[in-house]
Amino acid sequence: RGNWNKSLSILKEFQSVCSTPAESLWSLVDEMIAEMEAGLAKEGGGKMRMLLTFVDNLPNGNETGIFYALDLGGTNFRVLRVQLGGKEGGVMRKESREAAIPPELMQGTNKELFDYIAKELADFACTSDENFCPRGKRLQLGFTFSFPIHQTSIKSGNLINWTKGFAVPDTVGKDVVKELEAAITRQGLEMRVSALVNDTVGTLARGHFVDEDVMISVILGTGTNACYVEDAAAIPKWHGRSRFMVINTEWGSSWSDNLPRADVDEALDAESINPGDQFFEKLVSGMYLGDILRRVLLKMATEAQLFGDEVPSKLLSPLSLTTPKMCAMHHDETSDLHEVGRILSESIGVDDTSLEVRQLVVEVCEAVAMRAARLAGAGIVGILKKIGRDGSTSGENGSVRSGAPRTVVAVDGGLYEKYPRFQEHLQKVVVEMLGEETAQQVSIELSQDGSGVGAALIAACCPSAP
């Protein structure tokens, strides 16, 4: 176990960066709101992008018809077909097919990527029975594209930059709807894109379809992002006539210099494919948490010989500890932390770890996950405060408004869904920051499949879609 005291001091130092007390989170919230306002005032005005989505109408459950959706946003992509049956029927029927994006296409050319996607779509289209496959009609598609785009209408938008491991240079700056439609045409398929949305917007729409109190949605998966319903009057850069617009915050960006970052976080960023970018995402999302853990363990192995005189070579590989593995170790309930031992052996090739070492590893998991969840929770509180739902708004006589409106936050993503400790920390910090009473009016709910069905719902309800 090498220089144990040194390992402990590395742990302590890391834990202290991760501690994120409520007061420091509140100052992040204030900074966040200032960046949100700056981003709403002017395109590129703040460090938070606050992208216009052109979604100024949300599904309310009355939508009907058959729609396609395509969800591209991370490691996997999906094609779906849904049948909406209005208030009575809801989502009556749904079929979907999922495929992994081949790694070489994630860093290949624009044409290869879109041809691959369109091919999958064409293979899937009309594989179903007559009732679920309107023939002779031009099919409508909602396209969920979960990367930052500069949107110019509900059905057009130019890619600003890739994130989450994608690097296809010749797509940057192009209208992804045009690219997709061209690829669809090359496949000989008759289908039009009626709506281009982000996964956060899809999740918001999916949530709103069943509960109109859903005002905010958050993605906690490979990446992280959030969107919310903003009052048109609070969006100086938008000159349209709608009452509200959904704003895509792109909160994964580097919106604060005061985010609690440790030396391992700096190194992770420097070695990433987008250095200097997405600092919030790099502390919070599933793509990175396992790697942060790995880097802390690597530091302990290098500086304190935690795993013996030699640094295990697998520990040098960024793919050795993924977030699901970290999660499995974190939730190990066996008295001898058997699962932790097994995963350490399997993933980094160290056998016979002592119980103390395993406990130390779990402590690092806890610090990494807790910081991530508390930052995500603070982000939610920031949006709640921005729309006056954090309980701080005064009523008419300066008294605290009683009977504050209920607000639902729809959350989707594998990290939130499959990592119970993460979920607990997130729920807890929201109560800690807002206080019990206000927090009772805020409900954070897992809302799955928004990135798939949500785009179809927007295609069904957005006024510009025929």
**One character per residue 209-238, x = contact with Mg ion (rule: CB under 5 A):** ------------x-----------------
Nearer to ligand ADP, 150 or 418 (CB): 418
Token match 């097919």: residue?
A: 97
Nearer to ligand ADP, 294 or 389 (CB): 294
**One character per residue 190-229, x = contact with ligand ADP (rule: CB under 6 A):** -------------------------------xxx------
Nearer to ligand ADP, 83 or 249 (CB): 249
Q: Which of 68, 451, 458, 462 touches Mg ion (CB under 5 A)?
A: 451
Question: Among the candidate windows 68-76, 114-122, 391-399, 455-463, which touches ligand ADP by CB under 6 A?
Answer: 68-76
Helices (H), 227-278: 263-270
Residue 163 contacts Mg ion per CB under 5 A:
no
Residue 450 contacts ligand ADP per CB under 6 A:
no
Which partner, ligand ADP, Mg ion, none, binds residue 252 by CB below 5 to 8 Å per kind?
none
Q: Where are the beta strands (DSSP E) in 183-301?
A: 191-197, 214-220, 224-231, 244-248
Q: Which member of 56, 71, 78, 81 is catalytic?
A: 78
Cα(456)–Cα(454) distance, rounded to whole angstroms?
Answer: 5
Alpha carbon 102 to its chain centroid, in Å, reads 21
User: Beta strand 244-248 with 407-412: parallel, antiparallel or unpaired?
Assistant: unpaired
Compute the 3-state secondary structure of the chain and give helix, strand, coil in percent, each to the nearest 5: 45, 20, 35
Residue 320 contacts Mg ion per CB under 5 A:
no
Residues in contact with ligand ADP, total (CB under 6 A)?
16
Whether 199 is catalytic is yes
Token match 């066996």: residue?
A: 334
Q: Which of 171, 217, 323, 353 touches ligand ADP (CB under 6 A)?
A: 323
Q: Which member of 7, 146, 253, 320 is catalytic?
A: 146
Smallest gap, in angstroms, from Cβ of residue 108 to ligand ADP? 18
Nearer to Mg ion, 63 or 199 (CB): 199
CB 113 within 8 A of CB 168: yes
Contacts of residue 331, defined as CB under 8 A and 6 or more positions apart, other chains included, come to 420, 421
Whether 78 is catalytic is yes
Beta bridge mates, 195:
142
Count CB atoms within 10 A of the CB of residue 60: 13
Which partner, ligand ADP, Mg ion, none, binds residue 57 by CB below 5 to 8 Å per kind?
none
Q: Where are the beta strands (DSSP E) in 203-318?
A: 214-220, 224-231, 244-248
Whether 263 is catalytic is no
Contacts of residue 463, defined as CB under 8 A and 6 or more positions apart, other chains included, come to 57
User: What distances in angstroms separate CA 112 from CA 123, 162, 180, 182, one per listed residue?
Assistant: 16, 16, 11, 12
Q: Which of 120, 419, 426, 461 touches ligand ADP (CB under 6 A)?
A: 419
Q: Which member of 56, 199, 390, 412 is catalytic?
A: 199
Contacts of residue 435, defined as CB under 8 A and 6 or more positions apart, other chains included, come to 391
Q: 274-303: which residues touch ligand ADP (CB under 6 A)?
A: 286-287
Residue 454 contacts ligand ADP per CB under 6 A:
no
Backbone φ and ψ for 63, nearest 5 degrees, come out as -65, 145
Which run of H or E residues covers position 16? Answer: helix 4-18
Contacts with ligand ADP by CB under 6 A lie at: 73-75, 221-223, 286-287, 323-324, 327, 413-415, 418-419
Positions touching Mg ion (CB under 5 A) are: 73, 199, 221, 451
- The set of catalytic residues is 78, 146, 199
